[in-house]
Amino acid sequence: MVKVRKNSWPRIVKDLYSRLGNALKSITFIAFFLIGVIVIGGIGVWLPYGLDGTSDKVFFEAQNVLTFYLAILGTLSIEGVISKSKNTDLAALGLIIGVISLILGIYGYYNYPTGSVWQINLGAFITLTIFLFSTVNDEKFDVQEEIISDATGYEEADKDLIKDKK
């Protein structure tokens, strides 16, 4: 008998679309990603440019950007190893795209070790996208709504869900 596998791509696309929606809906995640990852985590990318007083300064210096996104790739790989909840299809896709990003960065830095290098910048963008999709569904970004209880101390019943059993 011939083995036929189910197509994983529709499920992956649906999951990625859902995660992107979750990212855009969560103010906590947006703040975490923009301030924590881009501004504070990327300080080694933008601070040298800001402090350089020369006229030939370069924004997105190859070495700085490569170091930044390799740190993120390393963090993601370690998190992937120790994570208990795994979506194997998404993890495999992230691994493939992460390796492509790594190859882009190494190629760009090997051939153009100074200046702003498009391969390294593209690799950094890809890595940040992987990071976004892999962390957006973390429970710490969920809004914890306060449970309203009635006088008995239990959560108030939703009257629309109660059905008469006659």
Q: What is the DSSP string of 123-138?
A: HHHHHHHHHHHHHTT-
Asked if 120 and 105 count as a contact pair (C-beta separation under 8 A), the reply is yes
CA–CA gap between residue 96 and residue 102 (Å, rounded): 10
The mean per-residue pLDDT over the stretch 59-78 comes to 92
What pLDDT score does 151 carry?
64
The mean per-residue pLDDT over the stretch 3-28 comes to 92
What pLDDT score does 38 carry?
94
Determine which of 4-8, 14-18, 44-48, 152-156 has the lowest per-residue pLDDT on average.
Answer: 152-156
What pLDDT score does 57 carry?
86
The mean per-residue pLDDT over the stretch 44-55 comes to 89
What pLDDT score does 146 carry?
56
Determine which of 70-84, 104-118, 150-164 has the lowest per-residue pLDDT on average.
Answer: 150-164
CA–CA gap between residue 109 and residue 97 (Å, rounded): 18
Phi, psi of 65 (to 5 degrees): -65, -40
CA–CA gap between residue 36 and residue 20 (Å, rounded): 18
Asked if 115 and 58 count as a contact pair (C-beta separation under 8 A), the reply is yes
**Per-residue pLDDT tens for 97-130?**
999 999 999 999 999 998 999 999 999 999 999 9
Decide: residue 19, CB within 10 A, 0-12 exposed, 13-18 middle, 19+ buried.
middle
